Amino acid sequence: MIILGIESSCDDTSVSVLKDGKILSVAVNTQLEHIAFGGVIPEIASRAHLKNFPEVLDKALKDSGITLNDVDAVGVTFGPGLVGPLLVGVNFAKGLGFSLSVPVVPVNHIEAHIYANFIDNPDIEYPFIVLVVSGGHTELIYVTEMGKYELIGKTRDDAAGECIDKVSKMLGLGFPGGKIIDELAKSGDKKFETFPRGMPNSLDFSFSGLKTSLKYYIERHDSEFLRNNINNIAASFLDSVTDSLVTKLFKAAKKYSCNTVLLAGGVSANSVLRSKISDQAGKRKMKVYYPHPKYCTDNAAMVAATAYKKIMTDGLEKYRFDSGLDAVPFLVLSE
Ligand code: KG4
Ligand code: ZN
């Protein structure tokens, strides 16, 4: 079975081809138009998706060696995300589904981030706790089977990725900040400064206090000091962000007597987070999984992989072509 995955919930235009559960290709165009603004501008993102989709599709097809006529189903992200960008992807998918006479499987973006873990590790056992950390989400979810999700912790304010991106902007490091701060922190001293850890006694998260603390720290120091110590500041800041994430993930695992933990979403590409979670899981003899870095940030491979799992669970019949399929910007995985 060949599935075409389509993703456009934010600023990445992506198409992927999957055959019988294996990724044959994934093409991603990360829009550079937003860098100058220090954040994603929804209207610009929608227009860029419209322009990018034909060439991203061509690349994904060429790299996989298949043609459109080989496609058995299309999987598309229909929420959550920015309404304009989602609408472009959903309508592109519906156009393909209609013209090829194949079903279109609607995929929840957060579910796709979770199932990105199964691309290289198809035998992960349930139940597990997954920490979803991206630019828009920071959530702890207890998963007993595909489709059964219990939300057990979430951010009360900023998402972790949002906090990292905003601090990067305050430090004049550019957007998006995750990869930049990750690189700088590698040669920094995490003990250089101690920044606050939000809501230490809860499974919920808070990153706005940390962001404010960085704001005052930057105001208190001159630009030469900040420039000379940027690696140390990045390392100390990341130590705080990741401490909160790791502590709560293992607290949740203990509470739910769960022996398997997963990471998902753009921030799960972070090297400090990955190594802290591996260390802690090793000490507790627990299993830990995180996606390959190329499947952490937004991509259509995770969408195709999730659509495939849904078809295998529910049968292709359930996903007859539906011209009424619409974008759902505030789609939830569980309450
Ligand atoms: O999942 P994603 O691509 O988009 C959303 O669904 O939000 O996540 C994007 C977020 C951004 O905040 C970006 O700065 C962050 O993931 N990110 C990272 C790293 N790579 C991307 N954060 C920390 N370390 C990284 N290596
Ligand atoms: Zn995402």
Q: Would the CB of 138 count as within 6 Å of ligand 1?
A: no
Closest CA to 138 of 214, 41, 244: 244
CB 11 within 8 A of CB 4: no
User: Both tokens of residue 191?
Assistant: 């003990």
Helix ranges restricted to H, 83-199: 83-100, 109-115, 117-120, 160-170, 178-185
Residues 154 and 157: their CA atoms lie apart, in Å, by 9
Q: What one-character DSSP code corresponds to residue 88?
A: H
Residue 296 Cα: closest atom of ligand 1: 1
In which residue ranges of the chain is pLDDT below 50? none
Neighbours of ion ligand 2 (CB under 5 A): 134, 298
Q: What is the pLDDT of residue 155?
A: 98
Q: Would the CB of 291 count as within 6 Å of ligand 1?
A: no
Q: What is the pLDDT of residue 108?
A: 98
Out of 31, 35, 134, mutate this one to test ligand 1's pocket (max ligand atoms within 8 Å of CB): namely 134
Residues 200 and 180: their CA atoms lie apart, in Å, by 27
What's the chain's length in residues? 335
Q: What is the pLDDT of residue 335?
A: 58
User: Both tokens of residue 3?
Assistant: 């599935």
Cα-to-centroid distance, 98 and ligand 1 (Å): 33
Q: What is the pTM of this model?
A: 0.96
Q: How many CB atoms lie within 10 A of CB 179?
A: 16
